[in-house]
Amino acid sequence: MLSAQNPTRRNILKTAGGLSAAMALGAGGVLASATPAAAVGDGFGLRIVDRNEADPRMRYYRFQTSAIGWNPGVNVLLPDDYHWSGRTYPVLYLFHGGGTDQDFITFDRAGIRQWTAGKRIIVVMPDGGHMGWYSNPVSSNVGPRNWETFHIGQLLPWVEANFRTYAEYDGRAVSGFSMGGFGALKYAAKYYGHFASVSSHSGPASLRRDNGAVVHWANLTSALDLGGGTVYGAPFWDEARVNADNPVQRIESYRNKRVFLVAGTNPDPINWFDTLNETHVLAGQREFRGLLSNAGIPHQGLEVGGGHVIRPQLMQDDINGIIARLRKA
């Protein structure tokens, strides 16, 4: 695990697509030579079973992996100049929310191409299950659903082996919406040396408050994916897992990171789902921010109108902040 205070500097230059024998004028008038394209391949427990690389920016891959009982997909969004610049880029891992209509395509539908146009950052958007909670569940009746293993143990090193990214602390950020915002907070704490920036857009930050409402919600909703299994165990929780995953219990793990939080203040009172989710999100993020402040850990917390929705302008603002924090392309 890399250290935030003294992260290992490893500038691993790898190519994945591009124009061979092409010359391009880089930043500051430096002439950069694009290297021959290297095919994106298998590795780290992932075998590519489907792909679409026709779009110059948005690449799609689907994998067979022992970590997941079906074949999860990922979209990899490349910068406009990726194929000719020869540059190495910082990378953002961006996680979708929960629900039967949410998957690795969520942010493409929402406008991620426009949000990142002209920006020098790679964005990786993987499947996380309809209600996978970015976790290895305590129990599953439908085969493996080990999303944490897939994301951290397999996908992250696969990305760094196949695309020109900075494989270091200052080269990686993690962000997400709703369930994905929780996943971002969780991974940033549990894998402290992996990510220099963490963002949660309407993601819960406190699992145990209100008699463990979010843990109960995770267990209830995960039954969709797990055939009656649960993320944290029922009727008795795996307390060690809850402790390890609970952001408010991992406050010191957010030191020396950029922390960006968004919560809505007035969810739709007619929409029970909106009210239930964002009410707990707001209360949990307030608890989390208070603990960060007490510990002297800088962070940015925004309370804005509306409920449990993706806010495009704040997503764009967040991406700009991520780019400012990470190592430059």
* 308 counts as catalytic: yes
Catalytic residue among 127, 170, 274, 318: 274
Among left, alpha and beta (phi > 0; psi -120 to 50; other), residue 79 is: beta
Torsion of CA 207, 209, 214, 217, to 10 degrees: 140
* 274 counts as catalytic: yes
**Residue 30 neighbours by CB distance under 10 Å:** 9
Catalytic residue among 83, 96, 130, 308: 308
CA distance 265 to 273: 15
CB 265 within 8 A of CB 305: yes
Q: What angle do CA 310, 313, 314 make, to 5 degrees?
A: 70
CA distance 73 to 57: 16
Closest CA to 260 of 319, 191, 328, 211: 319
Catalytic residue among 140, 178, 197, 222: 178
CB 157 within 8 A of CB 78: no
Catalytic residues: 178, 274, 308
